[in-house]
Amino acid sequence: MEIIIKRDALSGSQAAARVIARLVREKPTAVIGLATGSTPLMLYNELIRMHREEGLDFSRVTTFNLDEYVGLPPDHAQSYHRFMWDNLFRHINIVPENANIPDGMAKNIPAFCAVYEQAIVRAGGIDLQVLGIGSDGHVGFNEPTSSFASRTRIKTLTRQTVADNARFFGGDEAKVPHHCITMGIGTIMDARMNLMLAFGENKAEAVAATVEGPVASIMPASILQHHPAAKLFIDEAAASRLKLTDYYRWVYDGKPSWQKDA
Ligand code: F6R
């Protein structure tokens, strides 16, 4: 895993955006996996800026979102459909049919999940997957003890995730759906590159366990230690519990210029 420690969330997000922009310029038909939540907001703002000011072209890009709440219609204010359209899609030139998000209203959820997996394969697989991390170490909504072999499926959120996400529902935990559809850890591990972002002190423990702890399903993000191309963009606060920060900075500062894409 490559650990990239930036001064703050903004510079971390801008660095991550440069990796995505480079991919899209080199491969205009790139398939990109996307996340929601607070973490990727600055990243999406930077991609929007690059689209407007630098002509970054998403017209042939396909996207697949990681997850969606079960039971929320696409136009619900807290649905991840709304989130993606409000915070990214409506501001760039993506073709709506190419923007895939799990359907939280699917009548037959297992059948929908199988079709979602097939659609990813048909698109050629995910070139780059954007990830956040839960304070409990979840990726997508693969909560602790999720199988490392899991594929897109229904999951139950932990109480901690419900509490963490209540802020989007006016602070009312009762309004947070308990179920979601999420890509599995196996799905995420199939992406050719994984790009995880984590900012703030409340992610520091999960980041340290992910990078320097044992690979274990109790800390789902730790599986990224087995991914051949995982980059972790963090700020100083999220890096605060890591042991080898000096080494990560030394590696990053000493990279040959041709390797420096961020
Ligand atoms: C969202 C997702 C989640 C979030 C995680 C962190 O699509 O897959 O894993 O990335 O819950 O959320 P924030 O960024 O709000 O702290």
Instruction: Compute the distance between CA of residue 178 and CA of residue 87 in angstroms, rounded to an integer.
Output: 24
Q: Which of 36, 146, 210 to mutate to test the pocket of ligand 1 (most atoms within 8 A of CB)?
A: 36
> How does the average pLDDT of the chain come out, rounded?
97
Is 226 assigned a catalytic role? no
User: Does a structural domain hold residue 176?
Assistant: yes
User: Does a structural domain hold residue 192?
Assistant: yes
Residue 39 Cβ inside 6 Å of ligand 1? The answer reads yes
Give tens-digit pLDDT for 211-256.
999 999 999 999 999 999 999 999 999 999 999 999 999 999 999 8
Q: What is the pLDDT of residue 259?
A: 80
Q: Which residue has the tokens 């990279």?
A: 255
Closest Cα to atom 10 of ligand 1: 132
Per-residue b or e along 50-66, where b marks 16 or more CB atoms closer than 10 Å to that residue's CB: bbeeeebebeebbbbbb
Residue 200 Cβ inside 6 Å of ligand 1? The answer reads no
User: Does a structural domain hold residue 158?
Assistant: yes
Q: How far is the CA of 43 from the centre of ligand 1 (A)?
A: 13
In contact, 199 and 234? CB cutoff 8 Å: yes
Task: Find the mean pLDDT for residues 28-52.
Answer: 98
Q: What is the pLDDT of residue 260?
A: 73
Is 81 assigned a catalytic role? no
Is 136 assigned a catalytic role? yes
Give tens-digit pLDDT for 133-190.
999 999 999 999 999 999 999 999 999 999 999 999 999 999 999 999 999 999 999 9
User: Does a structural domain hold residue 214?
Assistant: no
Q: Is 21 exposed, middle or buried (0-12, 13-18, 19+ CB in 10 A)?
A: middle
User: Token pair for residue 74?
Assistant: 């696409």
Q: Which amino acid is at 1?
A: M
Percent of the chain, pLDDT > 70?
A: 99
Is 67 assigned a catalytic role? yes
User: Does a structural domain hold residue 59?
Assistant: yes
User: Token pair for residue 260?
Assistant: 């420096």
User: Does a structural domain hold residue 217?
Assistant: no
Q: What is the pLDDT of residue 261?
A: 67
Closest Cα to atom 4 of ligand 1: 132
Q: How far is the CA of 258 from the centre of ligand 1 (A)?
A: 31
Domain range for 53: 2-199
Q: What is the pLDDT of residue 160?
A: 92
Residue 138 Cβ inside 6 Å of ligand 1? The answer reads yes
User: Does a structural domain hold residue 35?
Assistant: yes
Closest Cα to atom 1 of ligand 1: 36
Residue 106 sits in a domain whose CATH number is 3.40.50.1360
Number of domains in the chain: 1
Categorize the per-residue pLDDT at 257 as very low, low, confident or very high, splitting at 50, 70 and 90.
confident
Residue 33 Cβ inside 6 Å of ligand 1? The answer reads no
Q: How far is the CA of 189 from the centre of ligand 1 (A)?
A: 17
Q: Which residue has the tokens 């956040």?
A: 132
Catalytic residue, chosen from 103, 143, 164, 235, is 143
User: Does a structural domain hold residue 121?
Assistant: yes
